[in-house]
Structure 1
Amino acid sequence: MFETTATTLAGAGRNSFFGAMFDENWNLHSDGEITEHFIDRNPEHFGVLLDLLRTGELDIPPKIDKKLLYREAKYYGILDHVRSAKWGPFDGNRARLAQSITGWSASDGEVAQTIRASPSGWCCVTQGSVVRVYNWMLEEHPIIHIEHNKVNDIGWVDSESIVVSSDEKLASGGMGLFNASTGELRYKFQVTDKLRTLAPLVTTSTLGFCSDNKLFSSCENADGYSGISIWDLVTGKLIDFRSLARHHSLRKATRLQWLPDYNCLMALYLYPKVDIALFEFQQNAMCQLLAEDQNKHSSTIRDATVIGESSSICVLGLNECLGFLDFRRTDTSVNWRYKKDSSSGLCFPKLAFHRGELFSSLNDSISVYCGSDWLPTSQLRKSPGGPICDFSIGGDRLFALHKDENVVDVWETPRPPVKFNVGGRIFETTATTLAIAGENSLFRAMLDENWNVHSDSAMTAYFIDRDPDYFAVLLNLLRTGELYIPPKIDKYLLYREAVYYGILDHVRLAKWGPFDGNRAQLAQPITDWSAANGTLAYTIRASPSGWCCLAQGSVVRVYDWMLEEHPIIHIANHKVKDICWVDDKHIVISSDKRLANGGMRLFNASTGESRCKFQVTDKSSSLAPFSTASTLDFGSDYKLFSSCENGDEHHGIGNWDLVTGKLINFHCSPPHLSLKKASRLQWLPGTNCLMAFYLDCAKVDIILFDFRDNTTVRLLTEKHDRPCDRTIKDAIVIEESSSICALRWNGALGFMDLRSTARGVNWRNTEDPFASPYFPKLAYHEGQLFSSFNNRISVHSGSDWLRTSQLRHSDFGAIHDYSIGGNRLFSLQSTGNIINVWETPRRVKLNVGGRIFETTATTLEFAGQNSLFRAMLDENWNLHSDSAITEHFIDRDPDYFAVLLNLLRTGELYIPPKIDKKLVYKEAEYYGILDHVRSAECDKFVGNRPRLARSITGWSVRDGEISRAIQAGPNGWCCVAHGSVVHMYDWMLEERPTINLDYHKIVEAWGYSMLPQGN
């Protein structure tokens, strides 16, 4: 049994085997009858491939056959992932010989002459009249036979199709398209009227390909007719033909290369003289760039290739001289840059260009040239096999064909381990692991845009002058996604190191999950500040990254994710009215200082520095001399809303631009509304409106401000002429249900529909009124409602918003304010200036016999309803939110528990040699998971596949009686009738107390009633 996430399987791609299991958004198809997907394949191979999808790394255990694993990857449609994990983009300077293809014999004295690589890492080799094809696993496919005609050239159209040209006449099917896997002929290229005059005698040789399904072929006959033909690869029909004059010296082209940026074809001719020509087919023009008589052996050109990046052609001399020709000029000549001394017995040299590197073969080696001066930087050589007669690069592989022994060397560039020297200790990892760190991490600058290591051969290890012990913990976090902090590691220092490496987000995600009020636990209190001039803290706000800030008189205190205090923000003896996080780094603070004098400012949360003050413009000129800002709210499009008021009953809502600090709009409240300071502002992005909740000594108002047409809608007005416990004290919008939730003084929740014209609150539940309840607050977070009442915060869930949990800590008094952000809840207690920090842990801690185990509630859920672990979790298999419990203690043997925990994690039972099997079974019975052990030990009984597991012996014959009947129980027990007694054996085949029938012979033992249901 394997368990994984949709995110992991989505990495396989839409065309994989797993794509059919999910909808277009990669959500599992919601078929309630499907609890698991059965795949009738090898589970060990699947486990390796699943780990590949999880980590991006391919670790093949020694017992796994590599080729069988590749076949399984092909079955699941993730062979590309295996290739990407096995090696990186081909780099000649780091290439390694991976494998050699041998074992075929010369056919009728023919030796292999040409090799071509496919885009997917396959290759095909010509040998006389046959073409041999090898797949990515270097396994040979059916041979392509050309019926005793010699193969002239081959070329890959795509990963599945090969074009083969032979010396058979075109009219007789001398060029065809073949299936690479099966060797079957798909079609023969057809001759049309454009080539009818040459058809009886014309044959094709060199091939060239264009990205828009066009094929180029050099054609010639014995009478001197020659030219370039263009074919449609979809239909196999001739599109165009460019004939060369009878007297022209150009006949069989040695190389054809399409230049997509210039829409022309480069052709290299070697016999009877060297010519390089460009064919422009739209204007039916030909430009001869170079013509060279073969009168100088040292400079005779033997191959040429186009380098599109520099608009040049590189030519290769007989003795591996490199020269360059600018094809944008007609009066150009070869600029020879690199020359070697001539040597005897040279094999025909070849050229190739790949990703900024030039490759040239000479004898038994391939030289690599790089840089602006194309200096030799590396050499690929393998001595057995003789000289290299051809080579080809494709699918991030280089295939080198040796002449003497028909050997193909396969060169690959392994994904290099990234080496770090951290504080003197060497670490090795992969670029895939570092890519998990993200774009903003320290490791990003070490890798290129594709997260590949920069090919700087001088760099052997990156030196980082940091503590290696802390780096090791963080590197394991990137490898596994889990954070394990050894006892010797200081937690806060580790967090600082994570900040340095830019991976603090990964630490946060590993430390706790998304905030869930039903599973929240008190993580830590903040208690290290004192009252400023007798002023208590009264407002707290959480940031999206788990920071918090709190207002205390004229100062604002800021605490980062590690709950360490940053420099205090001072407001120069003016009382702070509200604070608001703009992003992870900036805070807006409003105070009782007038707006015109900078009563609202933007601050840097880390340093406490003022970035800008919000400016008053003509739009609020009537309020400017006296107005102050109070309640704040932040819109997602960098807009800030502020409730403004002054002593003359002028009031309204200001809309500010957070980038410029200027006022965008000011919505003045109607004069007949007794609205002054708003208690809450909430922007509704779905409706482009702002909800404002007003609470004063006379009445309660809920108003919607529509900034699109400058209108105001009063949703609710309630005067305070009712009992105090029924007064509304807070309100919040739930956009998902288009409703507003209101909170009464006594903790009761009510709801009103934003879409309904008949306004009214539907009160659903009530709390018992307290004698002196503290000021209640409301919050909404990911489908859960939170309401504070005295010293507790209630969590409400479900369609009826029933209370499902409570967060309470009785030691610190009533809750003055609280805020949720960054997967944390910060509650500000009224007594002693204390902040309680609530988090939702990802792990469950178990103390078994003094050894600490960490697991997840999901793992324990596999144990089932009747297990010991069921009592630790609620009805939804979430941890009970009892903050006093940090770990569950179980007084059992930890070694046996480790075996059973791994069973729950993996579904497989592995019992180490030192562990007694029967004791494991007894422990499983104690934990209530004996069924899991049984399922792991043996499958459902199938008569065609049984194996003898064990025999029960050892009882003696009584009174000459022998055993006559046996019955099996539904739980794997059995009972045996033996004279007047019944022997009982449990699942572990241990005998239970014998049933004695007082010397009466048993006639039959049938049914399950005789079998004990318990112990």
Structure 2
Amino acid sequence: MAESSTNNIIITLNVGGQLFQTTPQTLALAGSNSLLYTFSASTTTVFIDRDPDLFSILLSFLRTSRLPSKSLRFDLLDIIAEAEFYGIDPRSITGVSDSSRFDGFDLQKSKILPLNGRDSPSAISTTTASESVYVAHGNKITYFDWSLRRKSTLLTCFPEIDSLLGVSDSLVAAGATDFAGLRVFNVGKREVKATLTWKSNPLPGVGGNSTVQAIGSSPNHLFGSFESSRRNSNAIVAFDHTTLQPAVEFSRADEIYSSTATTANDLYSAIPSTKLQWLASSNVLMASGSHGGPSGLVGNIKLWDIRSTNGGPIWHLKERDDCFSDVTVSDTLSTIFKVGINSGDVFMIDMRRLTNGGSKQDGTQWARIGEVWRSTGASGKGREGSGCKMESYGNQVFCVKGENVEIWSEVAIASTVRDSGLAIEYGMVDGRVMRRNVMGKIKDGGCGRITKIGFGGNRMFLTRKDQQFVEVWESHVVLKL
């Protein structure tokens, strides 16, 4: 059929006694697996025994790619249920799966996710593909689907879970710092799919009881940071996502506390990686970890290209002065950020300025962006940054300090901004202008120190000390009509 003829076809639908007319092209936007797509070739009036008001909202969305203003009169869950009936992906309507619609400056508390039992959350993870959420609390893992309406809980062998990574809607990886093995659980079947280990000793039957310090993921690999039960050796292992078999081992440090391990390098190698982050733009894994001792807190930040790990990391920074309480990397901003354990200030390193191609530290210095406007100068006394957390999402970086959340983003120019509800400040580093937005308790948020923070789609998830639930914050930019 000619395109001009197709454009002139009118499809009539009778929904609950109300007539709607549209084109085959509009109905096809619902997707080839949808019920509406099957009506796009109909030559007669089709009757559908459903609510016409809800259908009109969905039809308007197909026409304009946005919800009409009258949708605000309905519960969003009703719109989601109606979209599921017609076979339209509800996530395209809610914007949940579209991280580009996330705006950290525009968050509103939307709901509370209760957890079973009396244990507070110890880890949280979202899946990239579907935006479902996994929460570890005590020896349990609770799964919430993308709509946050359906949940299931499974018991694990761990006394408490320290590391968690959602692999898919059905699989989640978990580990503990005091219990051996990295377990991959099938949530639907409530069973262990695989137990992944690292042998710290190559001898048969020796060294297989290593504990997990961190978990990470790339499109092809599941990463586990392991430490031996004697705390004298560690390594990172990349497992194939499909087979869950070991593919590459790197960052190995053996017999750290042997009689010959006396140099400073040996002491730094004793630090296992406690955070793993994948940089998709450069196919690089960032591994970081810190350790407290008589001389204070020291740490490592390493960038690994797992395609060529024999030569060591492609970049390595050893931390001592004002070592990081936490560190994160923003792939979008090409920047590494840290919050200092002593000062509580935020620092950055522009990854585009890294020149070292080997395994040695290149002398790169941190640039302070937090508190640069303070007249007292650089801080460094006390432990103002103790317990602070950092995570990056999209083009923004989030720093958790007690009950408060700071949001850092890059802006084109510095200017003076007044906002009655937000404290906004600016700092310039090497020509880059970073804006800090201090969100306090985030308006109508709860009380209590924030312990974990996670992101998915247009949502931010928070957990707080001694509370048995997860707070969900949504960027209401998706509701602007």
TM-score by length of 2: 0.74
Residue from 678, 691, 712 that aligns with 2:312: 712
Q: What SS class does the counterpart of residue 497 from structure 1 fall into?
A: helix
Q: What SS class does the counterpart of residue 415 from structure 1 fall into?
A: coil
Residues 670 and 838 of structure 1, relative CA distance in 2, 3 Å threshold? same
* Aligned counterparts of 2:169 and 2:249: Cα–Cα separation in 1: 27
The answer for the alignment partner of 2:149 in structure 1 is 564
Residues 658 and 511 of structure 1, relative CA distance in 2, 3 Å threshold? closer
CA offsets 1:631-653 (integer angstroms, 9 cap, x no match): 111102x3111111221323211
* Aligned counterparts of 1:650 and 1:795: Cα–Cα separation in 2: 37
* Aligned counterparts of 1:497 and 1:677: Cα–Cα separation in 2: 49
CA offsets 1:849-900 (integer angstroms, 9 cap, x no match): xxxxx75xxxxxxxxxxxxxxxxxxxxxxxxxxxxxxxxxxxxxxxxxxxxx
One-letter amino acid matched to 1:667 = F
1:443 aligns with 2:36: yes
Report the alpha carbon displacement of residue 467 of structure 1 after superposing the two structures with TM: 4.5
Residues 490 and 590 of structure 1, relative CA distance in 2, 3 Å threshold? same
1:654 aligns with 2:287: no
Residues 423 and 690 of structure 1, relative CA distance in 2, 3 Å threshold? same
* Aligned counterparts of 2:450 and 2:198: Cα–Cα separation in 1: 39
Report the alpha carbon displacement of residue 812 of structure 1 after superposing the two structures with TM: 2.0
Report the alpha carbon displacement of residue 469 of structure 1 after superposing the two structures with TM: 4.2
The answer for the alignment partner of 1:20 in structure 2 is none
CA offsets 1:895-925 (integer angstroms, 9 cap, x no match): xxxxxxxxxxxxxxxxxxxxxxxxxxxxxxx
The answer for the alignment partner of 1:631 in structure 2 is 214
Map residues 175-574 of structure 1 onto 2, 5 A cutoff. 414-417=8-11, 419=13, 422=15, 427-444=20-37, 446=38, 453=41, 460=44, 466-484=50-68, 489-500=74-85, 501-509=87-95, 514-517=100-103, 519-526=105-112, 528-529=114-115, 532=117, 534-544=118-128, 545-574=130-159
User: Is the CA contact (8 Å cut-off) linking 1:818 and 1:825 kept in structure 2?
Assistant: yes
Q: What SS class does the counterpart of residue 292 from structure 2 fall into?
A: coil
1:821 aligns with 2:418: no
Report the alpha carbon displacement of residue 474 of structure 1 after superposing the two structures with TM: 2.0
User: Is the CA contact (8 Å cut-off) linking 1:616 and 1:663 kept in structure 2?
Assistant: no
User: Is the CA contact (8 Å cut-off) linking 2:121 and 2:138 kept in structure 1?
Assistant: yes
The answer for the alignment partner of 1:761 in structure 2 is 365
1:797 aligns with 2:388: no
Identity of aligned residues (%): 22
Residues 528 and 584 of structure 1, relative CA distance in 2, 3 Å threshold? closer
Residues 483 and 529 of structure 1, relative CA distance in 2, 3 Å threshold? same
Residue from 160, 163, 172 that aligns with 1:575: 160
User: Is the CA contact (8 Å cut-off) linking 1:817 and 1:829 kept in structure 2?
Assistant: yes
Q: What SS class does the counterpart of residue 567 from structure 1 fall into?
A: strand
Residue from 273, 281, 285 that aligns with 1:690: 285
1:612 aligns with 2:206: no
CA offsets 1:977-1005 (integer angstroms, 9 cap, x no match): xxxxxxxxxxxxxxxxxxxxxxxxxxxxx
One-letter amino acid matched to 1:706 = D
One-letter amino acid matched to 1:613 = A
Residues 416 and 560 of structure 1, relative CA distance in 2, 3 Å threshold? same
Map residues 9-28 of structure 1 onto 2, 5 A cutoff. none
Report the alpha carbon displacement of residue 761 of structure 1 after superposing the two structures with TM: 3.0
1:679 aligns with 2:281: no
User: Is the CA contact (8 Å cut-off) linking 2:197 and 2:209 kept in structure 1?
Assistant: no
Q: What SS class does the counterpart of residue 59 from structure 2 fall into?
A: helix
User: Is the CA contact (8 Å cut-off) linking 2:96 and 2:458 kept in structure 1?
Assistant: no
Q: What SS class does the counterpart of residue 152 from structure 2 fall into?
A: coil
* Aligned counterparts of 2:365 and 2:21: Cα–Cα separation in 1: 63
* Aligned counterparts of 2:276 and 2:221: Cα–Cα separation in 1: 13
One-letter amino acid matched to 1:535 = D
The answer for the alignment partner of 2:349 in structure 1 is 752
One-letter amino acid matched to 1:555 = K
Residues 707 and 772 of structure 1, relative CA distance in 2, 3 Å threshold? closer
1:781 aligns with 2:393: yes
User: Is the CA contact (8 Å cut-off) linking 1:535 and 1:552 kept in structure 2?
Assistant: yes
Residue from 708, 711, 728 that aligns with 2:324: 728
Q: What SS class does the counterpart of residue 660 from structure 1 fall into?
A: coil
Larger radius of gyration between Structure 1 and Structure 2:
1
* Aligned counterparts of 1:617 and 1:778: Cα–Cα separation in 2: 28
Q: What SS class does the counterpart of residue 514 from structure 1 fall into?
A: helix
* Aligned counterparts of 2:455 and 2:476: Cα–Cα separation in 1: 15
User: Is the CA contact (8 Å cut-off) linking 1:522 and 1:836 kept in structure 2?
Assistant: no
User: Is the CA contact (8 Å cut-off) linking 1:752 and 1:761 kept in structure 2?
Assistant: yes
Report the alpha carbon displacement of residue 808 of structure 1 after superposing the two structures with TM: 2.7
The answer for the alignment partner of 1:956 in structure 2 is none
CA offsets 1:232-262 (integer angstroms, 9 cap, x no match): xxxxxxxxxxxxxxxxxxxxxxxxxxxxxxx
* Aligned counterparts of 1:567 and 1:556: Cα–Cα separation in 2: 8
Residues 602 and 639 of structure 1, relative CA distance in 2, 3 Å threshold? farther
* Aligned counterparts of 2:34 and 2:389: Cα–Cα separation in 1: 38
Residues 618 and 677 of structure 1, relative CA distance in 2, 3 Å threshold? closer
Report the alpha carbon displacement of residue 814 of structure 1 after superposing the two structures with TM: 1.6
Residues 670 and 832 of structure 1, relative CA distance in 2, 3 Å threshold? closer
CA offsets 1:807-847 (integer angstroms, 9 cap, x no match): 63363212111112212221222252343323222378xxx
One-letter amino acid matched to 1:558 = Y
Unpaired runs of at least 5, structure 1:
1-82, 90-413, 845-853, 856-1015
The answer for the alignment partner of 1:703 in structure 2 is 302
1:642 aligns with 2:241: no
User: Is the CA contact (8 Å cut-off) linking 1:812 and 1:834 kept in structure 2?
Assistant: no
1:88 aligns with 2:6: yes
One-letter amino acid matched to 2:67 = L
Residues 677 and 600 of structure 1, relative CA distance in 2, 3 Å threshold? farther
My pick for the range that moved more, 460-469 or 543-552, is: 460-469
User: Is the CA contact (8 Å cut-off) linking 1:619 and 1:665 kept in structure 2?
Assistant: no
Residues 568 and 510 of structure 1, relative CA distance in 2, 3 Å threshold? closer
Residues 770 and 508 of structure 1, relative CA distance in 2, 3 Å threshold? farther
* Aligned counterparts of 1:762 and 1:668: Cα–Cα separation in 2: 24
* Aligned counterparts of 1:510 and 1:565: Cα–Cα separation in 2: 16
* Aligned counterparts of 1:683 and 1:556: Cα–Cα separation in 2: 24
User: Is the CA contact (8 Å cut-off) linking 1:614 and 1:662 kept in structure 2?
Assistant: no
Report the alpha carbon displacement of residue 730 of structure 1 after superposing the two structures with TM: 1.4
Residues 462 and 740 of structure 1, relative CA distance in 2, 3 Å threshold? same
User: Is the CA contact (8 Å cut-off) linking 1:639 and 1:658 kept in structure 2?
Assistant: yes
User: Is the CA contact (8 Å cut-off) linking 2:142 and 2:152 kept in structure 1?
Assistant: yes
Report the alpha carbon displacement of residue 789 of structure 1 after superposing the two structures with TM: 1.0
Report the alpha carbon displacement of residue 794 of structure 1 after superposing the two structures with TM: 0.9
Map residues 83-162 of structure 1 onto 2, 5 A cutoff. 84=3, 87-88=5-6
One-letter amino acid matched to 1:661 = L
Report the alpha carbon displacement of residue 566 of structure 1 after superposing the two structures with TM: 0.7
User: Is the CA contact (8 Å cut-off) linking 1:729 and 1:777 kept in structure 2?
Assistant: yes
Residues 620 and 559 of structure 1, relative CA distance in 2, 3 Å threshold? farther
Report the alpha carbon displacement of residue 527 of structure 1 after superposing the two structures with TM: 5.0
User: Is the CA contact (8 Å cut-off) linking 1:418 and 1:431 kept in structure 2?
Assistant: no
Residues 680 and 771 of structure 1, relative CA distance in 2, 3 Å threshold? closer
